[in-house]
Chain A
Amino acid sequence: MNKHSMKSFYALAFALAAFVAAGCGGGGEQAASDSGAAAGASSDAAVAVVDAATAGSVAGSVMFVGMAPETMMIDMSEEMVCAEKGERYGETVAVNDNGTLANVFVYVKEGLEGMSFPAPQEPVVLDQNGCWYIPRVLGIQVGQELSIRNSDGVLHNINAKPTVNRGFNISQPVVMDTKRSFRAAEVMVPLECDVHGWMQAFVGVLDHPYYSTTGAEGGFSLAPLPPGTYVIEAWHEVYGAQTQQVTVGEGETIEISFTFGEPAA
């Protein structure tokens, strides 16, 4: 083994280390592009331009019939930070005073095929405040940023269990924001916090902006819709989904309503 070849040998040892390092660097790049947010709306369909002059809309409300199930107060006594932010009652079935049902996700299920809607730049915010998801039911477009906020400063984890999209299970140990997005339309993606078993949220992921969640008034509105025939679906976490077909003419507003409820005992 002469001196020259010994030196070459050391050079190779370094090359080996570099190779190993390159292996990890490559992985890094791949990961970066993988986790990089927006796959964006598919580019093969033309971006839809909705003409305000001809657009119509679908609006209405979701009614509740029967006896609303009793809501239980959530025991947060072992999570003082949240308990101090006020009492919370279960809202799996949130019936409003006016007899409507909140937290129903209403959206255009069929009728927009072939049209493409770019994801909005502004993020959808999901706040965790008082160990509570605000809002509980929300919609988002494919590729749009979901900004998950921990306002409590205690550990929350966000365990998403989609069937179409890729699941994730991430945590927020301190007050912080985490950005995520979804790559495919999916109604609904359930989210839960395993640290606080009562925390549950649902995200409706769509490739268009025509969705609405009923609130304290129980109403919804899908606008401005290009004239056409649509299947509208209303989804509720306990009572499941209902659909209605509507035809929207030029400049027309179609009123529909959905009714969920307990079967008469």
Chain B
Amino acid sequence: MATTEAAAQPRSQDHHGEMSFIRKYIFSTDHKVIGIQFLFTCLFFLAVGGLLAMMVRWQLGFPGQPMPGGGIMPDTMAPGGIVLPEFYNALVTMHATFMIFFAVMPLLVGVYANFLIPLKIGAPDMAFPRLNMMSFWIFVLSGVVMLVSLFVEGGAAAAGWTAYAPLSAVPDYTGVSTGQQLWIISIILFGASSLLGSVNYITTVVNMRAPGMTLFRMPLSIWSLFITAILALLAVPVLAGAVIMLLFDQTIGTTFFLPENGGRPLLWQHLFWFFGHPEVYILILPAMGIVSDILANGSRKPIFGYRSMVYALIAIAFLGWIVWGHHMFQSGMNPLLGASFMVSTMAIAIPSAIKVFNWLGTIWRGNLQFHTPMLNAIAFVALFTIGGLSGIFMASNTVDIFIHDTYFIVAHIHYVLFGGSLFGIFAAIYFWYPKMFGRMMNETWGKVHFALTFTFYNLVFFPMHILGMGGHMRRIYDPNEYEFLQRFQGMNKFISISAFLLFAVQVPFLINFFWSLFKGKKAPDNPWRDNGLEWTVPSPAPHGNFETAPTVYRGPYEFSSPDVEEDFLPQNVPLNGGGGRKVTGDR
């Protein structure tokens, strides 16, 4: 820490003079501080989303019974602890909203695009540091608005996170008016925050790479965040436009999405999913990139098929724009469109398969180091495979007739967004924690947390495939109303208990996270013996990042190179004479 200070201090004084505390930690323009601010905020929202899910699971596992400790709930939500159907719908809606918009997406993009892009491409900061700060604070504001909406009269939005009109557009249909409007306002703010961020990430990647950092020497994490930013830049305005129209329908009597006066309920679905499907890739691509970095590190081997990994990312991002109709096979859309949307959707399986096989190829003949980030990255591969394969069922328009809007879909999305994205996020948190805070998280507790999370995760979500096959509809308050679902009561109870345990075993993670902030082992500069530029600076990374702009000589995955004794070869280390294999080449 002392040496860190010595290295960093003169620079920060040269450039900024003594910064006030507030400028340094609250309204900071340092990309690393902003990344850390996002991290704390998003972990909070992740907990909120999880808590809402627990209430959903209580009702499904123990329908109509009072929640333990539910006596403190207001009568409008759960009188005597018994969840009301309208509150259940709000829970389902807000769980998805918090998890998608305020946890997973900003955990990947807000935290890691911010923290990693400048460090990994050798830049001192973002291209637009003040926009970056604004992006964070608008995000906080939008999150606060969303939280407040839980407590207003009439309750929170209850029309699903997909907010299908007319249910979402006419307060009479749900009894929710203020809640739905705050939901819309929050999403608009969120969109603004996301756009500011995207512009920043794209510009930074395009303009601020260090000498020698060609596009094809960028780590896959940066590639994926770059492509994600482009997706967000193009997709989020569509959502913003759509929700503004929805707000008008709600408040000033327009009928964009209502059947009266030429409005179209299906227009909402087209607009929403035109945003929504790219959004799904926004939620998974960065995790794919991060996991690629960590798998190569943990395998001590170059990533298998680097270029084809990049092309696969681009292919997924491109195909993501022409598949939205698969959410609408049963919507009343012209059935002739079913064929084209099925083919484009299934085509996404190809680049996804390429990625999975390349990850396997990366592990193949490696020298695997099972540190906590690596374990989470391996789990990502194992679980994303399941999520990808289950996607083929619903890509088939024919099979979708039966499984659409059932728990099969719920299982699928959680295998992709929890099994995939969230395990990727855990991997990233453990991996870059030392660079963020200058201390290591505890490995033993990390592994305990991983093992328990992996186990309970599968116990929660795998059985949902079976529920889906049985025709179990999603978003229903009490499955026992249906005779054909009564046989699943035991399974629902099992899933619920597993879910409570899954929630509980996040406690070791939280304790590890906060305990390590103060008591963790001091981190060396490069604890994982990685090649990325971020590991060439002290831990925690100082303000301004690099003493002098680094020069990049090779790609980020030169592990176990025959050119050097060590099993890693940082991107900025020049190699002179001898062998010289590929040292100056593209990779």
Contact = CB atoms under 8 A, between A and B. Distances in A.
Interface stretch (A20-28, A127-135, A202-210): A20-28
A106 to B, nearest CB: 29
A173 interface: yes
Given A27-B148, A176-B79, A32 B74 contact: yes
A10 B363 CA distance: 38
Nearest to B26: A12
Interface of B: 1, 4-5, 8, 21, 24-26, 33, 36-37, 40-41, 44, 64, 74-76, 79-80, 82, 84-86, 140, 143-144, 147-154, 171-175, 437-438, 477-478, 517-518, 540, 542-543
Given A27-B147, A31-B153, A173-B85, A13 B37 contact: yes
A3 B40 contact: no
A167 B172 contact: yes
Q: How large is the interface on A (under 10, 10 to 19, 20 to 34, 35 or more residues)?
A: 35 or more
13 contacts: A9-B24, A10-B517, A13-B40, A20-B144, A23-B147, A24-B147, A35-B76, A159-B175, A161-B172, A171-B84, A171-B85, A173-B82, A178-B75
Contacts of A16: 37, 40-41, 140
A243 interface: no
A169 B175 contact: yes
Contacts of A76: none
A34 B151 CA distance: 10
A30 B151 contact: yes
A9 B37 CA distance: 10
Which 6 A-B pairs have CB atoms at the shortest separation, nearest pair first?
Answer: A169-B175, A27-B148, A27-B151, A23-B144, A24-B147, A31-B151
A2 interface: yes
Nearest to B84: A171
A58 B542 CA distance: 86
Please classify the interface of chain B as helix (H, G, I), strand (E, B), loop, or mixed, using the class held by over half of its residues. Answer: helix
Contacts of A179: 75
Interface of A: 1-3, 5-10, 12-13, 16-17, 20, 23-24, 26-28, 30-32, 34-35, 155, 157, 159, 161, 166-174, 176, 178-179
Contacts of A3: 1
A1 B152 contact: no
A193 to B, nearest CB: 13
Given A20-B44, A31-B152, A32-B74, A173 B478 contact: yes
Contacts of A170: 76, 84, 86, 175
A159 B176 CA distance: 11
Contacts of A167: 171-172, 175
Contacts of B151: 24, 27-28, 30-31
B172 A159 contact: yes
A186 B75 CA distance: 25
Contacts of A161: 172
A173 B82 CA distance: 9
B21 A8 contact: yes
Contacts of A5: 21, 24-25
> Which interface residue of B24, B41, B151 has the most chain A CB atoms within 10 A?
B151
Contacts of B40: 13, 16-17
A6 B147 contact: no
Nearest to B173: A169
